[in-house]
């Protein structure tokens, strides 16, 4: 079985929680008639699917880019539901912190493994 990296694990967790929040935000936007129903439903579905694709792609470098794109699009969705700007900014901060800490932890693990002469198996 393949061992998941720290970046993949943290990114998947953040995007998983964000997927739920964006789905609920789309329902709120639809319920408030914040825009044309088709735009709200399709836009919400695109964000949710993009989160799911980002979770699956976190094992590759493109997963991080997809995650950043989701953060930006979540902020942009504040055009229809203004509180989504706040939600998007909070998730952007969590995303940046998670990616920064994941890189830091992975560097520390690599240094520790090189000192011990072991490889990641």
Please tell me what DSSP assigns to residue 119: -
In 3D space, the residue among 106, 93, 91 whose CA is nearest the CA of residue 8 turns out to be: 106
pLDDT tens-digit series, residues 56-91: 999 999 999 999 999 999 999 998 889 999 999 999
The mean pLDDT value of the chain amounts to: 92
pLDDT tens-digit series, residues 19-62: 999 999 999 999 999 989 999 999 999 999 999 999 999 999 99
- Phi then psi dihedrals of residue 117, to 5 deg: 75, 25
In the structure, what pLDDT confidence band is assigned to residue 2 with cuts at 50, 70 and 90? confident
Sign of CA dihedral 62, 63, 67, 73: positive
End-to-end CA separation in angstroms for the chain: 10
This prediction has a pTM of: 0.88
Whether the predicted pLDDT of 121 surpasses 60: no
pLDDT at 90: 97
Average pLDDT over residues 102-108: 94
Whether the predicted pLDDT of 120 surpasses 60: no
């Amino acid at each position: 079985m393949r061992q998941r990296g720290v970046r993949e694990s943290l990114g998947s967790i953040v995007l998983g929680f964000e997927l739920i929040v964006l789905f609920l935000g789309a329902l709120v936007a639809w319920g408030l008639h914040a825009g044309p129903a088709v735009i709200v439903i399709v836009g919400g579905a695109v964000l949710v699917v993009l989160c799911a694709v980002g979770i699956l792609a976190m094992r590759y470098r493109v997963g991080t880019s997809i995650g950043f794109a989701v953060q930006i699009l979540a902020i942009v969705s504040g055009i229809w539901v203004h509180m989504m700007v706040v939600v998007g900014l909070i998730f952007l901060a969590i995303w940046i912190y998670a990616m920064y800490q994941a890189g830091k932890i992975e560097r520390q693990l690599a240094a520790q493994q090189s000192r011990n002469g072991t490889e990641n198996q």
